[in-house]
């Protein structure tokens, strides 16, 4: 039996909390701690009659390491699952170390204030040395390796779908299908339609920062950066049909590039409709995606945060979104001296997710793997001292759990490749 603390109570957290409560054979106690405690209380109210999991709630500002350490020490969970924002990754890791508890998250660290001169100095050095300019990267969290090792604690980074499941697919392909993997193409297709001209499927600030950044991919261990949205391909996805997809920078490329150095090329593609791209370009051109505060009538406003307040709350898209997602990885390589290619993927239906947990498929495909990662760490199946991504453990129990907890996957031999 395990006791879990979940930090954050937004779109992804809501699914993770539903799944933890379904999995009450493993999780007998759960604390939901977030900035706005009324959201935690509302979920507790909804779920407590339907589960054996004992739910408690707490108000917490996860930027406050001291207060968070105190809360963790009082509650004494087996693990902390961070589904707040990437801005809180380091403070929550610090609190877990101080309280002696394992740490799990779904997205790598990025700073809230990208104008902070201290951060910027390190960022600009990294851009020059490594050759990619995204604001987020693993270096900040990998730097905790020695501390987690010395404390005998596990930090599991990025257990959402992408990153998360996609890296488990890579470990699974390596274990069961290939002697050597030559290329990995990660494909993220959302065929869902919410009926709005423009909305984001998860936190708008994080989503728009990611999508408007230059694209990049790894070839022979080196990053190649390209202007945003400048590599476009069409792909025919099962359950969705033909979609345009664009090459993006994505964090699992960095981890897979480090942990599977034999792979010659790793790319990530995401589908976007024309309406999304037109709106995003326009908003960027007028400065609405900026993270730099401006002064408006005596009040300081961060443009992208103001935009977030105008856009539909991703959590409200659930009842309106129809269609399917298809996310997976195409691997090429060799087995027993012969060329081989496979596509490992999951198809998820937005309306089915809504019926089950009241959320659309983007939150669902992230929240389910978040629960699975937390389960494997809390039950000791994925436990070793240090800081790890999901490709660094035995993929088999994770793959089994995906089938059991709502994200069944398939393996297609000889898929159409992306040129
Ligand atoms: P939301 O904005 O919906 O939710 C964020 C939650 O965190 C809110 O409840 C918010 O509180 C809370 N929060 C924010 N700041 C603090 C703080 N300082 N202290 C305590 N709580 C805080 O985001 P999502 O659910 O869409 O995303 C959650 C995470 O999942 C993000 O890190 C995102 O990058 C990641 N993600 C990962 C994916 C993957 O596949 N790996 C895919 C999609 C998302 P409040 O209610 O007060 O706003």
| Domain co-membership, 186 together with 87 | no
Is the same domain home to 129 and 271?
A: no
CA–CA separation, 47 vs 64, rounded Å? 28
Q: Is the peptide bond before 326 cis (omega within 30 degrees of 0)?
A: no
CA distance 226 to 246: 11
Instruction: Give the model's pLDDT for residue 209.
Output: 83
Q: Which one is predicted more confidently, 93 or 277?
A: 93
- Give pLDDT, residue 145: 98
Provide, rounded to the nearest whole percent, the portion of the chain with pLDDT above 70: 100
Residues at CB less than 6 angstroms from ligand 1:
7-13, 34-36, 39, 60-63, 83-86, 88, 106-107, 158, 160-164, 202-203, 206, 314, 366
Task: Kindly provide the residue ranges of all beta strands, DSSP E only, lying in 95-190, ordered along the sequence.
Answer: 102-105, 154-157, 180-190
Residue 374, in any domain of the structure: no
Is ipTM strictly over 0.95? yes
Same domain (yes/no): 16, 101: yes
Asked, for residue 237, whether it belongs to a domain, the answer is: yes
Per-residue model confidence (pLDDT) at position 115: 84
Task: Enumerate the H helices of 4-134 as residue ranges.
Answer: 11-22, 37-47, 65-75, 89-99, 117-130
In the listed set 127, 157, 187, which residue is the last one of a domain according to the structure?
157
Angle CA 176–181–184, to nearest 5 = 105
Pocket test for ligand 1, best of 17, 34, 64, 91 (most atoms within 8 A of CB): 34
Can you point out the beta strands (E) in 139-179?
154-157
Q: Which of 88, 202, 250, 313 to mutate to test the pocket of ligand 1 (most atoms within 8 A of CB)?
A: 202
Has residue 80 been placed in a domain?
A: yes
Burial state string for 251-287 with b = 16 or more CB within 10 A and e = fewer than 16: bbbbbbbebbeebbbbbbbbbbeeebbebbeebeeee
- Ligand 1: distance of its center to the CA of 83 in Å? 5
How far, in Å, CA of 173 to CA of 266, rounded?
Answer: 14
C-alpha distances (whole Å) from 285 to each of 26, 133, 197, 210, 246 are 49, 19, 18, 16, 20
Same domain, 179 and 312: yes
pLDDT (average), residues 161-167 = 98
Instruction: Identify whether residues 203 and 337 lie together within a single domain.
Output: yes
Domain-embedded: residue 108 = yes
Compute the mean pLDDT over every residue in the chain, rounded to the nearest whole number: 96
Distances (CA, A) of 57 to 191, 284, 402: 35, 38, 27
Work out the angle between the directed axes of helices 165-176 and 251-259 (0-180°, nearest 10).
Answer: 30
Is residue 42 assigned to a domain?
yes
CATH of the domain at 247: 3.30.360.10
Read off the pLDDT of residues 198-223 as tens digits, 9 standing for 90 and up.
999 888 888 888 888 899 999 999 99
Same domain, 78 and 171: no
Residue nearest to atom 14 of ligand 1 (CA): 84
Same domain, 77 and 191: no
- 385 CA to centre of ligand 1 in angstroms: 26
**For strand 338-349 and strand 265-271, is the pairing parallel, antiparallel, or unpaired?**
unpaired
* Residue closest by Cα to atom 31 of ligand 1: 85
285 and 325 belong to one structural domain:
yes
Our count of domains for the chain comes to: 2
- Give the domain-ending residue among 111, 138, 157: 157
Q: 93 CA to middle of ligand 1, Å?
A: 16
- Answer yes or no: do 183 and 145 share one domain: no
Least confident interval from 23-27, 160-164, 258-262, 312-316: 312-316
Q: What is the pLDDT of residue 213?
A: 87
Range of the domain at 111: 2-157
Is residue 189, in this structure, part of any structural domain at all?
yes
Mean pLDDT is highest, among 197-201, 236-240, 288-292, for 236-240
Mean of the pLDDT values across residues 269-292? Answer: 92
Pocket test for ligand 1, best of 17, 35, 316 (most atoms within 8 A of CB): 35
Residues 360-388 have a mean pLDDT of 97
Buried b / exposed e over 381-402, threshold 16 CB at 10 Å, is: ebbeebbbbbbbbebebbbebb
Distance 107 CA to ligand 1 centre (A): 10
At residue 109's C-alpha, the angle toward residues 105 and 112, to 5°, is 120
Give per-residue pLDDT as tens, 188-202: 999 999 999 999 988
In a domain, 373, yes or no: no
Whether residue 198 sits in one domain with residue 115: no
Residue 185 included in any domain: yes
């Amino acid at each position: 039996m395990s006791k879990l603390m979940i930090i954050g109570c937004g779109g992804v957290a809501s699914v993770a909390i539903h799944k933890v409560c379904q999995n009450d054979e493993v999780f007998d106690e759960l604390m939901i701690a977030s900035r706005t405690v009324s959201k935690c209380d509302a979920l507790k109210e909804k779920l407590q009659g339907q589960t054996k999991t004992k739910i408690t709630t707490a108000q917490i500002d996860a930027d406050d390491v001291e207060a968070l350490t105190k809360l963790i020490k009082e509650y004494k969970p087996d693990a902390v699952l961070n589904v707040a924002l990437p801005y809180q990754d380091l403070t929550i890791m610090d609190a877990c170390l101080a309280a002696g508890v394992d740490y799990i998250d779904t997205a790598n660290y990025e700073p809230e204030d990208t104008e902070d001169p201290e951060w910027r100095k390190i960022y600009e050095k990294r851009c020059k040395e490594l050759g990619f300019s995204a604001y987020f990267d693993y270096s900040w969290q990998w730097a905790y390796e020695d501390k987690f090792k010395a404390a005998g604690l596990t930090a599991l980074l990025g257990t959402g779908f992408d990153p998360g499941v996609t890296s488990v697919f890579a470990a699974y392909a390596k274990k069961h299908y290939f002697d050597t993997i030559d290329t990995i193409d990660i494909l993220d297709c959302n065929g869902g339609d919410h009926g709005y001209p423009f909305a984001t499927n998860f936190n708008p600030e994080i989503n728009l920062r990611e999508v408007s950044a230059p694209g990049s991919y790894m070839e022979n261990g080196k990053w190649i950066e390209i202007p945003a949205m400048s590599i476009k391909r069409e792909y025919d996805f099962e359950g969705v049909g033909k979609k345009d997809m664009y090459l993006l920078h994505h964090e699992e490329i960095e981890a897979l590039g480090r942990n599977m150095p034999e792979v010659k090329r790793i790319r990530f593609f995401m589908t976007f409709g024309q309406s999304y791209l037109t709106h995003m370009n326009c908003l960027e051109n007028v400065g609405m995606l900026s993270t730099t505060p401006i002064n408006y009538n005596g009040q300081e406003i961060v443009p992208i945060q103001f935009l977030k307040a105008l856009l539909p709350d991703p959590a409200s898209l659930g009842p309106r979104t129809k269609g399917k997602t298809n996310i997976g990885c195409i691997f090429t390589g060799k087995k027993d001296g012969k060329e081989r290619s496979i596509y490992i993927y999951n198809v998820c239906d937005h309306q089915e997710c809504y019926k089950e947990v009241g959320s659309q498929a983007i939150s669902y495909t992230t929240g389910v793997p978040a629960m699975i990662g937390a389960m494997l760490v809390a039950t000791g199946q994925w436990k070793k001292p240090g800081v790890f991504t999901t490709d660094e453990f035995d993929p088999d129990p994770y793959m089994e759990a995906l089938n059991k907890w709502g994200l069944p996957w398939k393996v297609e031999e000889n898929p159409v490749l992306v040129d």
